[in-house]
Amino acid sequence: MATLVLLRHGESVWNAEGLFTGWVDVDLSTKGESEATRGGDLLLDADITPDVVHTSLLKRAIRTANIALDVADLLWIPVKRSWRLNERHYGALQGKNKTQTREEFGEEQFMTWRRSYDTPPPPIKDDDPLSQVNDLRYAELPSELIPRSECLADVVDRLLPYWYDSIVPDLAAGKTVLVAAHGNSLRALVKHLDDISDEQIVGLNIPTGIPLVYELDDDFAPLKRGGEYLDPAAAKAAIEAVKNQGGGAGKKAAPAPKKPEPKKDAPKSRRGRKK
Ligand SMILES: O=C(O)[C@@H](CO)OP(=O)(O)O
């Protein structure tokens, strides 16, 4: 038996502003930092001691893991990072306001881009300031592997090799594994773990900052489907909040605004690919 803890990063600045984020490297909000601290407290209270942490290459996940592990006095444990745990690349929607996108394109298109399993948003152009093609942290990746947009099916495809090659070996060695990642990369992992259909995964949302614990059998399948949130009541409320971002599913879209809000500037990141 092995223990796997999934932790979505705390609220980010762009979560708070209601913007599509994807691979843009935005930081935690003050509330997000508090959520990460609370995540660490919940781990302590549940007497769960991760032996190793896996994160994405994005600071909101990295900092959430650090804050939570610091609370538990576990900042020293080994850390492994991979772009394969990154958030779903939101293509040309990155930096756009969710409510305005819903109003401009309508509820159906908005939800298709946001939650459909196999329809990616329009691709981002390589010369867009919010593109990641020249971001130093992906310099070792062949350019064609850097996403220009992803649907959840694409995330499942790029995440599973990391699950099998990097996380499963740690679990097999008897380690308690913490994975600090993102709403949609964790949805992809939960889809795999709980064997959720392409249709059902559309309705699954992951709250920020609340550890989700899976006890796994010898085949790395969950003993309890869905795992257990360490604060189930808070998780339930937070899941609803994620679901309703941008106006929420099922609500009629308001008429299109006169002028869509311009895209946000990208937080600065180091540019330039290695030779
Ligand atoms: O903007 C994003 O990158 C994600 C997660 O914050 O949003 P959503 O929940 O709409 O997929």
Which of 126, 272, 115, 123 lies closest to 206 in space, CA to CA?
115
Total length of the chain: 275
Give yes or no for residue 15 CB within 6 A of ligand 1.
yes
Using an 8 Å Cβ cutoff, are 84 and 186 in contact?
no
Using an 8 Å Cβ cutoff, are 253 and 11 in contact?
no
Using an 8 Å Cβ cutoff, are 60 and 155 in contact?
no
Q: Cα separation of 216 and 206, whole Å?
A: 19
Give yes or no for residue 21 CB within 6 A of ligand 1.
yes
Using an 8 Å Cβ cutoff, are 213 and 42 in contact?
no
Ligand 1 centroid distance, CA of 246 (Å) = 10
**Complex ipTM value:** 0.96
User: Pick the catalytic residue: 35, 87, 103, 150?
Assistant: 87
Using an 8 Å Cβ cutoff, are 191 and 201 in contact?
yes
Ligand 1 centroid distance, CA of 110 (Å) = 12
Give yes or no for residue 32 CB within 6 A of ligand 1.
no
Token pair for 102: 């819903």
228 is in an annotated binding site: no
Task: Report the chain's C-alpha Rg in angstroms.
Answer: 18
Active site residue 107: no
Q: Cα separation of 242 and 246, whole Å?
A: 9
Give yes or no for residue 22 CB within 6 A of ligand 1.
yes
Active site residue 9: yes
Q: pLDDT tens digits for the chain (275 residues)?
A: 899 999 999 999 999 999 999 999 999 999 999 999 999 999 999 999 999 999 999 999 999 999 999 999 999 999 999 999 999 999 999 999 999 999 999 999 999 999 999 999 999 999 999 999 999 999 999 999 999 999 999 999 999 999 999 999 999 999 999 999 999 999 999 999 999 999 999 999 999 999 999 999 999 999 999 999 999 999 999 999 899 988 854 444 444 433 334 455 667 777 765 54
Give yes or no for residue 83 CB within 6 A of ligand 1.
no
21 is in an annotated binding site: yes
CB atoms within 10 A of CB 124: 24
Give yes or no for residue 99 CB within 6 A of ligand 1.
no
Q: Is the pTM of this model over 0.95?
A: no
Domains, the chain, ordered by start: 2-247 (3.40.50.1240)
Ligand 1 centroid distance, CA of 243 (Å) = 10
3-state class of 144 per DSSP?
Answer: helix
184 is in an annotated binding site: yes
Ligand 1 centroid distance, CA of 22 (Å) = 7
Buried-exposed string 85-105: b where 16+ CB fall within 10 A, e elsewhere: bbbbbbbbbbbbbbbbbbbbe
